[in-house]
Each structure stands twice: as C-alpha cells, then as structure tokens.
Amino acid sequence: MDRRNIITGSIYYLKLFQGYIGFKIYIVFALTLFAAFSEGFGFVMILPLLESLDGNIKEQSGIVGDTLEFINYIFGLENSVLSLLLIITFAFIIKGIVLFFALSSIAIMSANLHRNLQTKLLQNYSEMKYEYYSSRDTGHFVNVMNIQIAGVVKALNGIMNTISQVVAGIAYLIMAFIVAWKFGLMAALIGIFMLIVFTQLNNYVRTISSQFSLEKSFQTQYIVQYLQSFKYLISTAQTNKLSEKFITTVKNIANFQIKMGMAAVFTRSLREPIAVVAIMLIIFFQLVVIGDSLGPILVAIMLFYRALNAIQFVQQSWQLTLDNSGSVELVNQEFTYQDENSSPNSSKKIFPLQESVVLRNVYFKYESANNYAIKNLNFRIEANDSIALIGGSGAGKSTIADIITRSLIPEKGDVYIDGVPLRESDMRTWRQQIGYVSQNTVMFDDSIENNISMWDKTISKDERIIKIKKCSEQANIHDFISDLPEQYLTQVGDRGIRLSGGQIQRLFIARELYRDPKLLILDEATSSLDTESEEFIQESINKLKGKVTLLIIAHRLSTIRNVDYLYVLEKGEIIEEGTYDVLRNKNNSVLQKLISKQNL
C-alpha cells in the first residue's frame, strides 16, 4: 500500500481504523464539517456588519443577502445591527456545541480502540501456538501490548485530526469563495503548494517512526531480561553487560525523538510566518492589482486564515500519525502473525476424564530440528493411575507432556481422551481438567491465598478458604503457612522471591489441586529441590494416588518408586516399560542401570 503522501496515506489508515472502529468514524468528520460551516457562516455575516459602520444597514445581494433575509423571516427579526449580532453569536455557539461532540467522539473512540486492541490481542495470545510464543522474547509481547498499542491510539488521533482539518479547511475555503472567489482561489493554490513542500518531510518522519518503534521493542526486551535476571547479574557483577545494551537503545531512542521533535518544531515554527506572508500578498494583489473593496477582503482574510491554519494543522496532525505509523504497522503485523499461529480448535467439548488418556502413533518434530523428537509413540494412561516417564535429557519426556496439554500439536497421530481425539475437541474444556507442575514455577506478586485460588470468585469467601486449606494440607504446605505472621494473607513477592524453592513448589501443587484436576502432570517437580523438600512433595504425591490421574516426569528415580507403571524413553521412543519392581529386577534393564548410577 502506497503511503508516501497524505492522500494515499490517509485513505490507507482510514480504512485500517475503520476495520477496528467501524463506520462511526465518519460521524466525526460530518460533525467537524457542520461546525466549520457554522463558524464560516458567522464570519460571512460579519460582512454586512462591517458595511453598516456608518449606521445604515445596507441591502445585501447574492447568497449573503438571501441568507440574511431568510433568517430574519424565520425568527421575525428586522434587518438591524442587533439581528446581525444575534445571528453571528448563534452561529458560533452552534459551532462550539457541535465541535464539542466531535472532539468527545474522538476521545471515546480512542479509549475504546485502546481497550479493544489490548483485549483482542490478549485473547489472541491465549490461543497462540506455544511454538510461536517460544520463538519470541517476552519483551516483544510486553512492548506490543503496552507501548505499541498506545502508539496506535496516537496515530488514530493524528489521522482523525488530519481529516477533520482537511474537512474544516475545505469548508472555510468554500465560504471564502462565496465572499470573494478570487481570494478563495489564491488561498487554495497556496494551501496545495504548502502540502507539496512538506511531502518530503512526511517521508522522513515515517522512516524515523518505524526505526523508533523497533528500537522501543529492543529496549523493552532488555528491561524484562534485566529484571528477570537481576539476582544472577548482581551476584556475578555482570549488570554492566546488559546495561550497555540498554543504554545503547536509550541513546538511539533519544536520537529518533530529537529528529521527530525537530521535524515537528520546524513545521510549527513556519506555520504562522507562512500564513502572514500569504495573507499580505493576497491583500496587496486584491487591493492594488484587482481593486476590490476592503469589506469582503477582511471577511475573506478571516476565512482564509482559518483555512490556512487548518491546512497547516493538517501537516502537524499528519506528522503525529507518521510519528506513530511504526506502531500501527507493528500491531497490525502482530495480528497477522497471531492469525497465522493460532492453535486449531473445535467446539466439541471434552467431558471429565473417566477412562483413559491414550497416545496413538504420535510423531512430533520441532520446526528448528531435523529429526523427530517423538517417533511412533503409543502408550496409555488409565484414569486415576500413576504413570512415570523417565529417560535422559532430550528423550522427549516434556514434549509428551506438552502434546497431552496440546501446547504442541503432533505432526502425525493424536491424543485420545476417553476415545475422543483432541484434534476434534475444544481445548479449553480439556485443559481445565489438567494440573501442571514444573520446575519452572509460576508465582504472582500477591498473597498466598490468591496464588492458590487464582482470585477465584465462583464460590463464597468462606468456601474458598476451606478449599485453600484442604489443598494446602494435601500439598504439605499448610503447617508452614500457619506459622507465618499473616498466614494465608502473606505476600510472596515477585515470582515468590520471599519463599524457598521447596515452599514455592508445594504452593504450586496446592494451586493445581485447588482446580480439582482430573490429570496432574508433575514435570521434574523435584529436580532442583533439597532432599527434605523432595520428601515433602513425595508425600504429597503419595496422598494423591488413586484420587487423580498422575503423569510424573522425573530424573530422580526416588520420586517414582510407587507409581503404577513407568515408561523409559530414549530419543523419542519407548525402549522399556513395566512396573518399578519388575524393571528393577530385570537383568540388564535400563532402569536397573539408572538406579545403580543414582545409588538407590
């Protein structure tokens, strides 16, 4: 799409925002046109007032006389100075009221656009493929959601004001043509010349805006990475390495802001001198060369000045649009990426798990890999049984868990829930049945109560507290919480920084139990914990046996001694399966070798 000049660019952005807001965007332009004509009419009515300075109201000819006669007839006025003053006052009052509604409409549309974009984008993020999420950094999503959407709203204000000023300028020029057509013609030619002059400046600003938006994305990325890695960076005196990258983006952004600011100042500084020079030239030409009378010229000057100001504000408003055009392109592009990378879904609901979870002939390969991470995988998890997956790093254990949760979609084969294939099912009704605990815990900077219940409002407060305590007891964390000064109201800090690793992990399990899962996945849940914390969690797991379907992924074999069945994986394939005792006592079994290495 060609956006090199104000005409093609305005059409492009107008259509784009029409897609977000709808046809009500055009109401603003209609209101602006009406307001401009009201003001212009007020200026035109000054003409007979000027000609009555000698005390006599002169008969007016043409459209001015006809309009004045019509208004006097409608309102029962006489052709007097008082009637002229009332008409002029009324015209400007109408202009103010209509303009208020026009500007209010822009404010409402801006707020609604900001809300709708963030809501829609967040909804898209909740449905995007995990692979797309993992291919981007966190800073990218934060930048789009906060900074770039705000830029889109600014661009909307810019394009709305641009077109509104064009509409107003046309209205003023039409009124100027009515009073003095030669004057109006010269004003129109000067306005067109000014727009042509500023075309190159517009192209320059648009380029800088795109670079500015990209640099803001880098900056947000570095901020997020710096804060997430803060403990490691200060502990190893490496804060300067990330700080240098951040400072570079700060310098680049400052340079872009200076360039865009200078362009804006250049436009603003030239606006009034150009207007005054143009007016003086036209007055000289009309009085000296053409020999027109002064009255129409004075009224036309006011109309021309308003038109010229409108035209120059067009440049200023258009520059605001260009300043934020990079944000518009980035957000629009993000919606395109989300459409391309949304997880497929169906409306067929998955009922609560009762029989089994089965993987049949499942193949999966990561986009960046040459070989399959999972190959021809077949296994079954009976409801309320406990299953363990073991194997070395890269064996495919976590990939299987991601396939079951549908974070990853198999290239071939499928997962069947009570005989229903996930490809034909509503993912939300399945995922609501899953509890997932990994070594990468998720804690929110809130109270223990809210971290467990996830701000649940579906039951009463008393019922919620009872349920939270029950889940905490199952997760072996209730006694610890009860000993805290504020107990369940204790704030855990950012990512649970005020708790130990074992406490966080047990709190995490309590949260998942609060959801009454039908399938609980424990993915290396004890891999980074001390022996005592591991024992606490192992006790929690033992309490859940037979009550919930358990899928345990572990390196530490001590955590899977009591499972009903286990699978040993290597390079995405099952190389051994059976109960713990059978495989342990089997000669030359892989499990036996692993147990020997871990001195169990």
Q: pLDDT band for position 498 (50/70/90)?
A: confident
Are the CB atoms for 307 and 187 separated by under 8 Å? yes
* Average pLDDT over every residue of 233-262: 73
According to the per-residue pLDDT averaged within each range, which of 184-193, 407-416, 587-596 is highest?
407-416
* pLDDT digit string, tens, across residues 173-206: 777 777 766 666 776 677 667 666 666 666 666 6
Average pLDDT in the chain: 76
CB-count burial class (<10 Å; 0-12, 13-18, 19+) for 343: middle
- What residue ranges in 535-596 does DSSP mark as E strands? 549-553, 565-570, 573-578
Q: Alpha carbon of 517 to those of 283, 392, 436, 511, 544: distances in Å?
A: 83, 28, 9, 10, 11
* Average pLDDT over every residue of 75-95: 71
Cα–Cα distance, 489 to 492 (Å, whole number):
9
* The 420-421 sheet, strands edge to edge: 374-382, 356-364, 412-417, 420-421
Whether 1 shows a pLDDT value over 50: the answer reads: no
State the CB neighbour count (10 A cutoff) for residue 431: 14
- Residue 391's contacts (CB-CB under 8 Å, 6 or more residues apart) are 397, 568, 569, 570
- 127-136, 369-378, 446-455, 565-574: lowest mean pLDDT where? 127-136
Residue ranges of domains in the chain, CATH in brackets: 6-340 (1.20.1560.10), 344-432+560-600 (3.40.50.300)
- The pLDDT score that the predictor gives to residue 294 is 61
Amino acid at 395: A
The pair of three-digit structure tokens given for residue 152, joined into one six-digit string? 């889109």
What percent of the chain clears pLDDT 90, i.e. is strictly above it?
Answer: 0
* Average pLDDT over every residue of 545-551: 82
- The pLDDT score that the predictor gives to residue 75 is 56
Cα–Cα distance, 464 to 315 (Å, whole number):
58
pTM for this entry: 0.62
* pLDDT digit string, tens, across residues 321-340: 777 777 878 887 888 877 77
Measured distance between the N- and C-terminal CA atoms of the chain, rounded to whole angstroms: 67
Closest CA to 405 of 374, 377, 433, 386: 433
Find the DSSP H helices in 127-180.
130-135, 138-142, 149-179
* pLDDT digit string, tens, across residues 459-494: 888 888 888 888 888 877 888 888 888 888 888 887
